């Protein structure tokens, strides 16, 4: 008899557990449906057409348009992130007009738009809130992906969150909606995803700048190991583009092949990249230079340069070309360089690349940034293999640090490695902690 009661008690207990789980599931589904109902009850049937969206570093960027909105009728606009119930956040959005269409972009800077690191777990919708002169109430528009770009999966730094931006189909009140939805959930970081990637410049058949027996390739690799150790001590997951296992066999023309520096960096899905180099040049040149991507907020680059100068005996570079601040440089293609590429394409029988004055000249910055930095190496120039990530909408925020000039600064570079790499590590940790 006792045995029968035990079995019955166990069955009752299991049924109660199933009931609780079922109840929680129903409640969650009901809350989810209520949230969706609140979202879809206030949006227009017409949607904002997303023509481009991408991540750069930790920043999510949108460009979208809404048809038949004249400039004369426009007042204000905001980008809204909402879960449909108890959370709503406003972001600035910038407007321009093409004919009677309004074009909206999240930021003038590719690294300073929507910070993905600060969004808490949950399910969210992006909407445009538009106030027009001829309407007393604002209008809301969901964002529909009309671009050629795929969904985004992003893993946060340290917080162990996976963020998915994906297109979802909905049918509400006989209206069909296709909109971008943001899902943030707790998730361990995959083995092949990193926070930071460190690129040791040159290597293999390219030794880079040399002087008095010292080689740039050896110096940058030594620095890369030191910096990696310091960042890992801060809890960051770090990838090297080359190390002792592949540096001797590395070939410059295989930069974009499997195992090449650019491919290795892009495969890491890191948020930030530091590319380490040593400058060549005559004895009139000296000092540290930090090269930053164009169309970016230069706060991080400025802090990198300042920390290196403060913590070592190196000074800011005395070179004025491309300089935008003390120790900070932005190097884009010039008209002359664009014409050189065009001439080379014509001579070798391939279609010229789409290069503009906003295209970064340094390939380390350009080619890991995807569409954010106008990456273009797609294999048409057969001297190099194709960068299979050139058209990616998930870009790595990259800075190239020229540690100094090999002829004038070599002793400082060799003797102050620990101070240099500590300064770089501190800058990276500072920008991560400050933003997130």
> For 12-61, how does the pLDDT look when each residue is reduced to its tens digit (9 = 90+)?
666 666 665 555 444 444 444 556 767 878 888 899 999 999 999 999 99
Q: Per-residue pLDDT tens for 173-223?
A: 777 778 899 999 999 999 999 999 999 999 888 888 999 999 999 999 999
Among 208, 275, 188, which Cα is nearest to 240's?
Answer: 275
Among 64, 69, 66, 67, which Cα is nearest to 51's?
Answer: 64
Percent of the chain with pLDDT over 90: 77
Residues 147 and 53: beta-carbon distance below 8 Å: yes
DSSP character at residue 294: T
Q: Per-residue pLDDT tens for 288-340?
A: 999 999 999 999 999 999 999 999 999 999 999 999 999 999 999 999 999 99
- The domain ranges of the chain are 42-186, 196-435
What is the H or E stretch that residue 423 is in?
Answer: helix 417-435
According to the 3-state scheme, what is the secondary structure of 303-321? HHHHHHHHHCCCCECCCCC
Backbone angles phi, psi at 350, to 5 degrees: -130, 160
pTM of the predicted model, to two decimals?
A: 0.90
CATH superfamily of 196-435: Zn-dependent exopeptidases (3.40.630.40)
Q: Distance (Å, rounded) from C-alpha 268 to C-alpha 350?
A: 31
Residue 206: predicted pLDDT: 85
What is the H or E stretch that residue 180 is in?
Answer: strand 175-186
Q: Per-residue pLDDT tens for 100-150?
A: 899 999 999 999 999 999 999 999 999 999 999 988 899 999 999 999 998
Locate tokens 């991408």: which residue?
Answer: 54
Of 80-84, 201-205, 219-223, 431-435, the range with the lowest mean pLDDT is 431-435
- List C-alpha distances in Å: 256 to 150, 259, 269: 22, 8, 16
Q: Distance (Å, rounded) from C-alpha 308 to C-alpha 424?
A: 7
CATH classification for the domain delimited by 42-186, as one of 1.10.490, 1.10.15, 2.40.30, 2.60.40: 2.60.40
């Amino acid at each position: 008899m006792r045995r029968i009661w035990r079995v019955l008690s166990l069955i009752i207990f299991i049924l109660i557990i199933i009931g609780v789980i079922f109840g929680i599931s129903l409640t969650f589904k009901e809350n989810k449906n209520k949230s969706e109902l609140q979202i879809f009850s206030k949006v227009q049937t017409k949607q904002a057409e997303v023509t481009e969206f991408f991540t750069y570093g930790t920043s999510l960027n949108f460009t979208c348009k809404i048809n038949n909105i004249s400039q004369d009728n426009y007042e204000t606009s905001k980008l809204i992130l909402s879960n449909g119930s108890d959370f709503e956040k406003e972001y600035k959005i910038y407007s321009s007009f093409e004919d009677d269409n309004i074009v909206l972009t999240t930021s003038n800077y590719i690294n300073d738009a929507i910070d993905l690191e600060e969004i808490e777990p949950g399910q969210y919708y992006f909407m445009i809130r538009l106030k027009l002169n001829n309407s007393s109430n604002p209008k809301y528009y969901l964002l529909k992906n009309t671009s050629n770009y795929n969904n985004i999966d992003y893993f946060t730094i340290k917080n162990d969150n996976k963020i998915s931006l994906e297109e979802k189909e909905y049918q509400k009140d006989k209206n069909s909606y296709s909109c971008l939805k943001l899902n943030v959930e707790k998730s361990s970081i995959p083995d092949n995803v990193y926070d930071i990637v460190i690129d040791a410049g040159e290597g293999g058949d390219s030794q880079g700048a040399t002087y008095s027996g010292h080689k740039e390739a050896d110096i940058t690799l030594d620095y890369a190991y030191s910096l990696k150790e310091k960042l890992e001590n801060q809890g960051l997951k770090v990838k090297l583009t080359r190390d002792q296992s592949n540096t001797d066999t590395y070939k410059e023309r295989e930069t974009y092949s499997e195992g090449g520096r650019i491919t290795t960096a892009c495969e890491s899905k890191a948020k930030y990249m530091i590319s380490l180099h040593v400058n060549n040049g005559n004895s009139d040149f000296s000092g540290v230079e930090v090269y930053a991507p164009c169309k970016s907020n230069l706060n991080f680059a400025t802090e990198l340069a300042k920390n290196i100068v403060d913590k070592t005996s190196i000074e800011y570079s005395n070179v004025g070309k491309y300089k935008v601040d003390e120790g900070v440089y932005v190097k884009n293609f010039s008209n002359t360089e664009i014409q050189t590429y065009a001439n080379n394409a014509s001579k070798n029988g391939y279609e010229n690349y789409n290069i503009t004055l906003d295209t970064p000249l340094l390939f380390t910055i350009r080619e890991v940034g995807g569409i954010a930095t106008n990456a273009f190496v797609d294999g048409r120039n057969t001297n190099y293999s194709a960068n299979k990530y050139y058209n990616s909408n998930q870009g790595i925020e990259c800075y190239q640090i020229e540690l100094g000039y090999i002829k004038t600064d070599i002793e400082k570079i060799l003797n102050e490695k620990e101070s240099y790499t500590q300064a770089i590590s501190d800058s990276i940790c500072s920008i991560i902690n400050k933003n997130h």
